[in-house]
Structure 1
């Protein structure tokens, strides 16, 4: 039983370290991973496995570590939902990229969004010119949302680095 408590504590320590590391490195969107990000995640998971379970490589030890991670994630999401101040610390804010056809070059530069990436997001949603964009935003999940100047207020979303997985909302 004492060994399982150690696994719980180790798993919690690794969980909070990973949250902090992801937040400090500015990785906002884990669903938008490039090749180097996937390699990094795989290597980190391998590196921290022993830190969580220690010498206990049993099925029970692995299940306890996984259960702690799932439970902690569930509890953290509920906590952040109820506490805006903490939510703002963990989550970044949406950022305006284009407003009434005018690009915010300072924000684009700070977020390292290239002209090509922004144009790709626009093309994905049938928008040819910046002047046709009423609002383009980088959402907190890393997607680029676009609202056009069309009368129908067509809103589209572009998932960064995964251009074929997008959602059109008419």
Structure 2
């Protein structure tokens, strides 16, 4: 039993290369499947993910069912993924190549249909992102873009956005100033009262 579990049935170098090649192929597939495929997975996307794991399993392990062989594949996957992440952080060109760049899907309240059609972004997804930002409708959007990681980033127009703390503080200061002016005006004697106070009788 221990012999079967710990004896690698394929050369370790072959298992490492199999894992690296499959990893590279999966990265390329997801890169060219579009940004939308990386977030907000629907039912079809989940089915593909589950099936992919079974499809590429034999390509990684080959005719090797040993425990040690599986561990070699797992360690290789984690190591390659860590190296790719560090490489992408260190070199922006690699990040753009592997992950892509943001794509604008809404500009000044108008949906860019060519971009949404190419990226397979539905209007309901944009509307949901707008509501998360406390907007009411797509016309309230100054700009919306789909990031390489599949996240939809929405920037509302200044007229549609919520008031910031700075806005509230400035409003409170103006109200306090107006309140002070009104109080000063109420405390100031009027001209008619001044005429009565100088001892002269008002004209009859």
Offset of 1:106 from its aligned partner? 2.2
Larger mean CA deviation between 124-133 and 74-83 belongs to 124-133
- CA distance 1:35–1:127, change in 2 (3 Å): same
Residue 49 in 1 paired to residue 57 in 2?
Answer: yes
Q: Which residue of 1 aligns with 2:154?
A: 146
Equivalent residue in structure 1 for 2:42, among 34, 43, 57: 34
Q: Is the 8 A contact 2:35 2:119 kept in 1?
A: no
Aligned with 1:7: secondary structure? helix
Offset of 1:71 from its aligned partner? 0.4
Q: Which residue of 2 aligns with 1:21?
A: 29
Q: Which residue of 1 aligns with 2:184?
A: none
RMSD of aligned alpha carbons: 2.3
Equivalent residue in structure 1 for 2:92, among 65, 84, 88: 84
Aligned partners of 1:28, 1:92: CA distance in 2, in Å? 12
TM-score by length of 2: 0.67
Aligned with 1:45: secondary structure? helix
- CA distance 1:20–1:64, change in 2 (3 Å): same
Residue 4 in 1 paired to residue 4 in 2?
Answer: no
Indicate the structure with greater strand content. 1
Aligned partners of 2:19, 2:142: CA distance in 1, in Å? 46
Q: Which residue of 1 aligns with 2:130?
A: 122
Offset of 1:116 from its aligned partner? 2.4
For the pair shown, the structure with the greater C-alpha radius of gyration is 2
Aligned partners of 1:55, 1:14: CA distance in 2, in Å? 16
User: How many residue pairs were aligned?
Assistant: 154
List gaps (5 residues or longer) in structure 2. Answer: 1-7, 163-204
Q: Which residue of 2 aligns with 1:168?
A: none
TM-score by length of 1: 0.78
Aligned partners of 1:145, 1:93: CA distance in 2, in Å? 13
Indicate the structure with greater helix content. 2
Q: Is the 8 A contact 2:35 2:147 kept in 1?
A: no
Aligned partners of 2:137, 2:53: CA distance in 1, in Å? 43
